[in-house]
Chain A
């Protein structure tokens, strides 16, 4: 074999081996070497953020003297004041986080950072907060703004045209004012509009059946007014549940589902496109819409004893008086309308 041929073979071997060199180095360096991180302790739940903050703040309450100032939650350059009660004047701003053993109040147009109060929190008209947690109810004035999240033990009432950040949750009633925007809401229940409306007749709606039922497969379906269907429905097209009709099962549609006034569905409503619950319509299970979920006035989802979820792949619109016992998820933003 000539020297030239040997060079060619060596060059060929080098070219073949070259792609393996970065991998060998990567093995030696151990970059991205570990397993993909899976948080085994994580449980998906609507009030996760509030509960995490409370757990972190608990140590501060136990160890820091009143009016003390501590580095906040390990964030660089951020501090928290530990106080008894705290009030921010109209138009004033507070850069530090506030951990209040009792109540917290920010007057109109005030601006605050993170707030946690073991008592009640009041955010005045036009006031803003980055995050807000309260252990004894909260009240937000009109045009108040929460940038990240809000979590409340007890009831929470928001005025009109509030901005509720990424998540707003309450262990009790979450009353969301007209014109407010949100991404995720959780309440027992969530009620759209300025006041609770009595939805009579809850007791007459049957419980969701749990056994596997025969499925009713159809193209498109219109259930007549006051009719009763005792099956699950799987439809390739749209489904319309007539006024006052009753479906004792779940509805799954590759199109849209429209539940007309005062009709009720005892199972889940799942649609690839839109789900619309008209005035007074009731769904005891979940409502999942691939696009928009729309609840008209006094429409209701879930029951007081069983939290359920309304999810809109695009958005969620809640008209005044609409009520959801559980979680509202608007993937691209939701709003409350009159």
Chain B
């Protein structure tokens, strides 16, 4: 009985990893050889909608000034732009910086949150109550949008099917150390190939919570963000697709961000993402699979998108199952070899896709020397798997104990002068 169950688990692992392998292989081929679909970022439009830019900030004094400077320098009609700078329970002087910007530029509206619960989703909900703009863009405080970025992102909404838009995130501190190099490579694979391919193939590009935006009216229709959500971006993605809206991806709407420079910060970030992502999986997967608004391919993509943070625990379970079978003397050599082969395939082409997808992204970006670092990305898989698995365990705990997860921001590594 035990041997049968463990063997079934191994077969499941192999099947799931094979499915992800095929998925990412298709994505990469689409990006390299397929017809590239563009959003409407290159449209010329004098008739721009009213725009609110939301910047939620919790203890962001080191980066807030540079972010707000960049936003105010953007090319967008002044009478149609407002910037809601949200000081979310800061204690480091962020509030003073926000007040200073508000005093010198009428477009900046300061919002100070003190009594309400802290967290990005809650901060966004409060800010949304203070704007009537048609389109809302969200930027985290460590992002510095370029002058043309708002126009590019907003252009996507000329299509009435589009409920949200997502731009491309580019690490600013890629050269800092090995971790930042590897994260820059992951980002490149995730945006340059993965998001663009999903947009090409009319699957489900994801709203990423920053360097993106949505129609305010649609978010109101959806009831705003769930204040308990740790992955409010994935939650909005799921809600939009369930209601038949689409999400546009603009690969040319690039914006710098800061990636974690310490392994501990990266661990906590992944763990939080996993925890939040798995909550969205629990709450929205069934609804997405049943919605008539999505095609079969889109439903499959939804399942694989939401399931991506389930795979590492599945794989770790597979390793333990294989060990148990070996100790029980029930793991045939060919099965062990097949399992190892599939794990390698998964790492090469699957969800973290170090070899195929990231290498393609680096070549497309013209940074092909970074391909030499791919073995390190491969070696990072156990680290990723463990942090994601801890987040998965957290999510189970949240469900069983009806626990409300507390938002923790990613630590900033340095002042961005």
Given contacts A26-B369, A268-B159, contact A35 B147 (CB under 8 A): no
Interface of A is mostly: loop
In Å, the complex CA distance between A70 and B174 comes to 40
In Å, the complex CA distance between A112 and B174 comes to 45
- CB contacts (< 8 Å) of B367 on chain A: these are 32, 36
- CB contacts (< 8 Å) of A43 on chain B: these are 75, 147-148, 151
- CB contacts (< 8 Å) of A327 on chain B: these are 43-44
A185 to chain B, nearest CB (A): 11
Identify the stretch in B265-273, B303-311, B372-380, B384-392 within 8 Å (CB) of chain A at 4 or more residues: B372-380
Q: Chain B residue with minimal CB distance to A47? A: B44
> Is B218 a contact of A212 with CB atoms below 8 Å?
yes
Give the residue of A25, A33, A268, A326 whose beta carbon is less than 8 angstroms from that of B158. A268
Tell me if A222 counts as interface (CB < 8 A to partner B): no
Tell me if B24 counts as interface (CB < 8 A to partner A): no
Among residues 164 to 189 in chain B, which have CB atoms less than 8 Å away from a CB atom of chain A? Answer: 170-175, 178, 181, 184, 188
Among residues 4 to 53 in chain B, which have CB atoms less than 8 Å away from a CB atom of chain A? Answer: 40-47, 49
A46 to chain B, nearest CB (A): 6
Tell me if A7 counts as interface (CB < 8 A to partner B): no
Give the residue of A44, A252, A307 whose beta carbon is less than 8 angstroms from that of B148. A44
A122 to chain B, nearest CB (A): 28
Tell me if A286 counts as interface (CB < 8 A to partner B): yes
- CB contacts (< 8 Å) of A31 on chain B: these are 369
Tell me if B160 counts as interface (CB < 8 A to partner A): yes
> Is A32 a contact of B375 with CB atoms below 8 Å?
no
How many chain-B residues does the 8 Å CB contact rule pick out?
51
What 1/0 mask marks residues of chain A from 266 to 286 whose CB sits below 8 Å from any chain B CB? Answer: 011010000000000000011
Tell me if B300 counts as interface (CB < 8 A to partner A): no
Tell me if B365 counts as interface (CB < 8 A to partner A): yes
Identify the stretch in A16-24, A52-60, A88-96 within 8 Å (CB) of chain B at 4 or more residues: A16-24
Tell me if B255 counts as interface (CB < 8 A to partner A): yes
How many chain-A residues does the 8 Å CB contact rule pick out?
51
> Is B159 a contact of A38 with CB atoms below 8 Å?
no
B376 to chain A, nearest CB (A): 5
- CB contacts (< 8 Å) of B188 on chain A: these are 36
Q: Chain A residue with minimal CB distance to B375? A: A19
In Å, the complex CA distance between A212 and B379 comes to 49
Q: Enumerate chain B interface residues (CB-CB to A < 8 A).
A: 40-47, 49, 70, 75, 134, 144-148, 151-152, 158-161, 170-175, 178, 181, 184, 188, 215, 217-218, 254-256, 362, 365, 367-370, 372-376, 379
List 22 contacting pairs A-B, 8 Å CB cutoff, sorted by A: A20-B375, A26-B370, A27-B181, A31-B369, A33-B175, A35-B170, A35-B175, A38-B146, A38-B255, A40-B145, A41-B146, A43-B147, A44-B152, A212-B134, A212-B215, A232-B160, A268-B159, A286-B158, A308-B44, A308-B45, A309-B44, A329-B42
